[in-house]
A and B are shown apart, each in its own frame.
Chain A
Amino acid sequence: MIVFLVKRLANAALVMLAVALMAFLIFRFVGDPVQLMVNEQTTQAEKDALREGLGLNDPVAVQFLRFVGNAVQGDFGVSYRNQQEVMSLIAERLPATIELVLLATIISLVVGVPLGVITAIHRGTWYSEGLQFLSIIGVSLPSFVIGILLILVFSVMLNVSPAFGRGEVVSIGWWTTGLLTPSGRAALILPSVALSLYQITLVMRLVRAEMMEVLRSDFIKFARARGVPRWRVYYVHALRNCLMPVVTMTAMNIGSLIAFALITETVFQWPGMGMLFIQAVTFVDIPVMAAYLCIVSFIFVALNTLVDITYALIDPRLRTARG
């Protein structure tokens, strides 16, 4: 078990290093931050001095090693655009993104699971087919279109929901939350619905497929034969048996939701990490871009490693066979 753990962790560390290196290679092509930091009256000598001071004249290998060395100690430098420590910038934005992603995940489960069950047990009916069709739209509509559509309907036409921002937030230590104020809660609804739509359809289709599998098994037939009420068979016995893959997928998908949130955040001016990243890209704010990529890939790698380890705990065969 210990060998497995060490292998898994080493693997994760290697992936992180590779991500950092790739990020660094990409940065060579995003442009020159100095051009964006100076104004029309700056002389060439001043630009050169600035470039030298930022260490942009060093070879890429030196810049990369310096970055990794600092990053390991949690130091990602100071943002070129905000002139603020990158770590505190990200810490400020993290709660907004996490809150959005968690709410979207909850919505996707609360809505997606019952819909999956309904389409599985009533397959062939018009409403089940209709839901199936709608779910295709949910998967194929890009999230910025959904976001703008929601804004148009609920903010501009009906005027019931704010079109942008996070509303009034309350800080608890370093964490900020919009859940405790009415305006904060109102502001959360549209973006989390926009973000969850894709996830809802995913959950729904997964539950449906699993349900159809389970419903064919012997214990369901036995339960039905014994006269257990139908809702109990479906929602207790059958559903419980198809939740395992749903939970796994949901956990794994939190990573991609954080990445997806980037678009939703831009549309709703949601002050989260994705917003920060988009702005950093247009400004060639290398420290922020590097830190964001590292942190997001860290979340991915951590979730994957965690899932792997849990599976290994549950299933001893994996420890030797695949580890």
Chain B
Amino acid sequence: MTIKASLLTCAAIACLAGGASAETLRWGAARDINSLDPYSYGSTFTISFLNHVYEGLVRYNDKLEIEPALATEWEVLEGNVWRFKLREGVKFHDGAEFTADDVVASLTRVSHPDSPLRGNLPAYVSSVKVDDYTVDITVNGTYPLLLNDLTNIHMFDAGWLTEHKAEVPTDVAKKVEGYPTFNANGTGPFIVESRVPDSKTVLVVNEGWWDTPKHNLTRIEFTPIASDATRVAALLSGEIDFTEKAPIQDLPRLAETPTVKVLEGSELRTIMFGFTFADTLSNGQPNLFKDKKMREAVAAAIDLELIQKKVMRGKSRLAGTVVAPAIPGYDAALDTPTAYDPDKAAALIKEMGAEGYEFEIVCANDVWLNEEEICNAMVSMLTRAGLKPILSIGPNAVQQIKQTNGEADMFSFGWANEPMLDSYSILLQVFHSKTDNAGVFNWGGWVYPDLDKLVDAAATELDREKRLEMQAEALKIVKDELIMLPFHQQPMAWATSDKVEAVVQLSDNKGRHWMTRMAE
């Protein structure tokens, strides 16, 4: 009986797939999503995929500007209370109405002490339902970036959460599975039809979506294909229509294929190198990197253009400042890459008495694009300049322990300012001195009181222009003091089959298929 029933279901699914294949987008991704629960933990990729199913109060448009989504308007009542008017007539996939109760339940769930996503909404204190379509959100003080944070907080249905006993997020430590890990009920443009982890997740179009669809898809078949070579093969043989990760080394080949289109751009993520500011290095020597001259010497000894040309195959974007142009707070005046000047480097090293100075560079081989090659190139450049760098390379899971414990003399670093999309993110988390909730990624242990003051002031400045001015000033300190040496923005490359007419590719490297059109 079971066999028969399954066979029938199977046949039905096959029928559906056959009938609507013209508008089916087959997405071959480099990795699977972790869970169907957007609050499972802070994976940018998982959240961006689930954005097809769930939505937040606000969202980014095709120019990366914040626009209304489930909330239609908002105002700041007092310094720390925000009032949101909700969109009326929005329905969840199971037919339930979207109301203020759902917002309160979702915010309560995401800010629960066990929630891994709590960090994405750092200023949240509480929320109150005013009427069915009005919610007041209280934050801990004046906080300008609430909207940015809310773009990534997806809305659940309160009734659905209660019914399935999922009011609190899944806690791995308590060894319980959560219903939303395997099921989804959002308001978004697509509905989850089925999911088999690591093999296939199928979305079908939500006919009752509140917004006018720009896409013409009826179905998305999402398949993770971890191996680069297999993913390229699947694209060449026409088994997938879209991938958000086309391997850089295969781009020329893909571009030559008439049935494949390649879309290239540069990501938000900036790759940079930092130094420890501790008194001694990991080998016990006194730390010369605390002296700005030594950092200048290293910067002058590295030929960024050569790395860009040879290691990155000309695909990366050279950076002079630690944030990408699309990030608010970016200042074009700061964005001139440090010039390669071996004579200056040699002179500075001599002045510091640092000939043959031995230190360790800690890099990972599985995080950033061509990181191992970048680090190797850097080691030979610094050796030529008269220093004695030793490369430590390994998987990120191992290397990051050294880096966070401050045991790395010099280290690679990448920051995309996700999910906030504002330079406040890097200033607070990386360049601010280490305090309770700032400077978590301040691996070198640097302290710049002027910079701290600017960042703290920006934290409570509601006037966007003024705030961004302060942040730009703080970024100037970062640049002038060479706290970290920016290298480049990573290239990103998508590829589609010729069945895909248009996809929207923004510098945050997220697939937004509610704007994708297939050729008819």
Pairwise interchain contact A54-B173, C-beta atoms closer than 8 A? yes
What residues on A are CB-neighbors of B225 within 8 Å?
164-165, 269
A92 contacts which chain B residues (CB < 8 A)?
196-197
A35 at the interface (CB under 8 A from B): yes
In contact, B239 and A163 (Cβ under 8 angstroms)? yes
Identify 27 residue pairs between A and B in the complex whose beta-carbon atoms are under 8 Å apart, listed by A's number: A32-B400, A35-B397, A35-B404, A38-B116, A39-B418, A40-B418, A40-B441, A41-B122, A41-B429, A43-B119, A43-B122, A43-B437, A44-B440, A49-B113, A53-B174, A54-B173, A78-B175, A81-B34, A82-B35, A83-B178, A92-B197, A148-B230, A155-B234, A164-B239, A170-B6, A172-B2, A267-B227
- A171 lies within 8 A of B6 (CB): yes
Contact with B along A22-40 (1 / 0, CB 8 A): 0000000111110111111
**Nearest CB in chain B to that of A53: its residue:** B173
Is A46's beta carbon under 8 Å from chain B? yes
With A35-B401, A164-B230, A267-B229 in contact, is A40–B415 under 8 Å at CB?
yes
Decide yes or no whether A162 CB sits under 8 A from chain B.
Answer: yes
The answer to whether B237 and A83 touch across the interface, beta carbons within 8 angstroms, is: no
- The answer to whether A181 has its CB under 8 Å from any CB of chain B is yes
Residues of chain B with a CB closer than 8 A to A53's CB? 114, 171, 173-174
CB pair B237–A172 under 8 Å, yes or no, is no
User: Which of chain A's residues have a CB closer than 8 A to the CB of B404?
Assistant: 35
Per-residue CB contact flags for chain B residues 62-87 toward chain A (1 = under 8 Å, else 0) read: 00000000000000000000000000
Q: Flag whether B40 is at the interface (Cβ < 8 A).
A: yes
The yes or no answer to A198 lying at the interface (CB within 8 A) is: no
* 5 extra A-B contacts, CB within 8 A, seeds A31-B397, A170-B7, A172-B6: A31-B401, A41-B42, A92-B197, A163-B233, A172-B3
User: B181 on the interface (CB 8 Å rule)?
Assistant: yes
**Which of B7, B120, B199, B227 has a CB less than 8 Å from the CB of A39?**
B120
Shortest CB–CB separation between residue B243 and chain A, in angstroms?
12
* B204-260 interface with A by 8 A CB criterion: 223-227, 229-231, 233-234, 236-239
Q: Flag if B233 contacts A151 (CB, 8 Å).
A: yes
Nearest opposing residue in chain B for A79, CB measure = B172
Which residue in chain A gives the minimum CB-CB distance to B171?
A: A53
* A83 near B37: Cβ-Cβ < 8 Å: yes
Interface residue? A268 (CB, 8 A): yes
**Of all chain B residues, which has the CB nearest A271?**
B199
**Is the Cβ of B2 less than 8 Å from the Cβ of A37?**
no
- Closest B residue to A80 using CB positions: B172
Residue of A nearest to B113 (CB): A49
Residues of A within 8 A of B (CB): 29-33, 35-47, 49-50, 53-55, 75, 77-85, 89, 92-93, 148, 151-152, 155-156, 159, 162-166, 168, 170-173, 180-181, 266-269, 271, 275-276, 278-279, 282, 284
Q: Is the CB of B366 closer than 8 A to any CB of chain A?
A: yes
User: Are A155 and B239 closer than 8 Å at their CB atoms?
Assistant: yes
User: Which B residue's beta carbon lies closest to that of A172?
Assistant: B3
Contact surface of B with A, Cβ cutoff 8 Å: 2-3, 6-7, 10, 13-14, 28, 32, 34-35, 37, 40-44, 113-114, 116-120, 122, 170-178, 181-182, 196-200, 223-227, 229-231, 233-234, 236-239, 366, 395-398, 400-401, 404, 415-420, 425, 429, 436-437, 440-441
Q: Which residues of B contact A83 (CB under 8 A)?
A: 34-35, 37, 40, 170, 172, 177-178, 181
Q: Which among B197, B227, B230 is the interface contact of A84 at CB below 8 angstroms?
A: B197
Closest to A157 in B: B237
Smallest Cβ-Cβ distance to A269: which chain B residue: B225
Chain A hits for B120, CB < 8 A:
39, 41
Question: In whole angstroms, how far apart are the Cα atoms of A41 and B302 in the complex?
Answer: 31
Contact B223 A164 (CB under 8 A): yes
Question: What residue of chain A has the Cβ atom nearest to residue B180's Cβ?
Answer: A83
By a CB distance below 8 angstroms, the chain B residues around A50 are 116, 173
Chain B positions within 8 Å of A36 at CB level: 396-397
Q: Which of A41, A267, A282 has the most CB of B within 10 A?
A: A41
Leading 7 A-B pairs by shortest Cβ distance: A31-B397, A39-B42, A53-B173, A271-B199, A42-B119, A41-B119, A43-B437
A162–B199 alpha-carbon span in the complex (Å): 14
Question: Could you tell me if B436 and A39 are in contact, using CB atoms closer than 8 angstroms?
Answer: no
Does A30 lie within 8 Å of B397, measured CB to CB? yes
- Report the minimal beta-carbon distance from A70 to chain B, rounded to whole angstroms: 9
Q: What are the residues of chain A within 8 A of B230 when measuring CB–CB?
A: 148, 151, 163-164, 267-269
Given contacts A151-B229, A163-B237, contact A39 B119 (CB under 8 A): yes
Instruction: Report which of A43, A155, A268 forms a contact with B436, defined as CB distance below 8 A.
Output: A43
Query: Which chain A residues lie closer than 8 Å to B418 at the CB level?
Result: 39-40
A40 to B413, CA, bound (A): 12
Tell me how far the C-beta of A106 lies from the nearest C-beta in chain B, rounded to whole angstroms: 23
B177 near A84 with CB under 8 A, answer yes
Q: Which of A31, A42, A44, A269 contacts B396 (CB 8 A)?
A: A31
B400 A35 Cβ-Cβ under 8 A:
yes
Query: What residues of chain B lie closer than 8 Å to A82, measured between beta carbons?
Result: 34-35, 181, 197
Q: Closest CB-CB distance, A143 to chain B, in whole Å?
A: 13
Determine the chain B residues whose CB is within 8 A of the CB of A282 once the complex forms: 366, 395, 397
Q: How far is the CB of A318 from chain B (nearest CB, A)?
A: 44
CB contact under 8 A between A266 and B227, given known A32-B397, A46-B119, A181-B10: yes
CB distance from A51 to the nearest CB of B (A): 10
Contact between chains at A155 and B237 (CB < 8 Å):
yes
Chain A nearest CB from B499 CB (Å) reads 16
User: A29, A30, A78, A164: which contacts B177 (Cβ < 8 A)?
Assistant: A78
A31 touches B400 (CB 8 A): yes
Q: How far is the CA of A267 from the CA of B233 in the complex (A)?
A: 11
Residue of A nearest to B439 (CB): A44
Q: Look across to chain A and name the residue whose beta carbon is closest to the beta carbon of B236.
A: A156
Chain A residue nearest to B7 in the complex (CB): A170
A152 / chain B contacts, CB cutoff of 8 Å: 233
Complex CA–CA separation, A132 to B286 (angstroms): 64
Residues of chain A lying within 8 A (CB to CB) of residue B233: 148, 151-152, 155-156, 163-164
Q: Are A29 and B398 in contact (CB under 8 A)?
A: yes
Which residues of chain A have C-beta atoms less than 8 A from B3's C-beta?
170, 172
**CB-CB < 8 A to B366: which residues of A?**
282
CB distance from B346 to the nearest CB of A (A): 37
Task: Tell me if B440 and A43 are in contact (CB < 8 A).
Answer: yes
- How far is A155 from B41 in the complex, measured between Cα atoms in Å? 37
Q: Give B327 Cβ to nearest chain A Cβ, in Å.
A: 13
How far is it, in angstroms, between the C-alpha of A282 and the C-alpha of B216 when the chains are bound? 37
Note all chain B residues with C-beta closer than 8 A to A276.
198
B229:A42 contact, CB within 8 angstroms: no
Q: Give the complex CA separation of A29 and B200 in angstroms.
A: 32
Q: How far apart are the CA atoms of A171 and B10 in the complex, in Å?
A: 9
Of the residues A80, A275, A284, contact of B198 by C-beta under 8 Å:
A275
Closest to B197 in A: A82
Nearest A residue to B121 via CB reads: A41
> Please, which residue of chain A has its CB at the minimum distance from the CB of B401?
A32
CB distance from B54 to the nearest CB of A (A): 17
- List, in ascending order, chain B residues with CB within 8 A of A278's CB: 226
Chain B neighbourhood of A89, CB < 8 A = 197
* Minimum C-beta distance from B230 to chain A (A): 5
How near does chain A come to B347, taking the closest CB pair, in angstroms? 38
B223 — which chain A residues lie within 8 A by C-beta?
A: 164-165, 269
CB distance from A278 to the nearest CB of B (A): 8
Residue of A nearest to B176 (CB): A78
Query: Which partner residue on chain B sits nearest A43 by CB separation?
Result: B437
Q: Is the beta-carbon distance between B118 and A284 smaller than 8 angstroms?
A: no
The CA of A38 and the CA of B234, in the complex, are separated in Å by 32
In this complex, the member of A33, A78, A282 whose beta carbon has the largest number of chain B beta carbons within 10 angstroms is A78
Bound: A172/B9 CA distance, A: 13
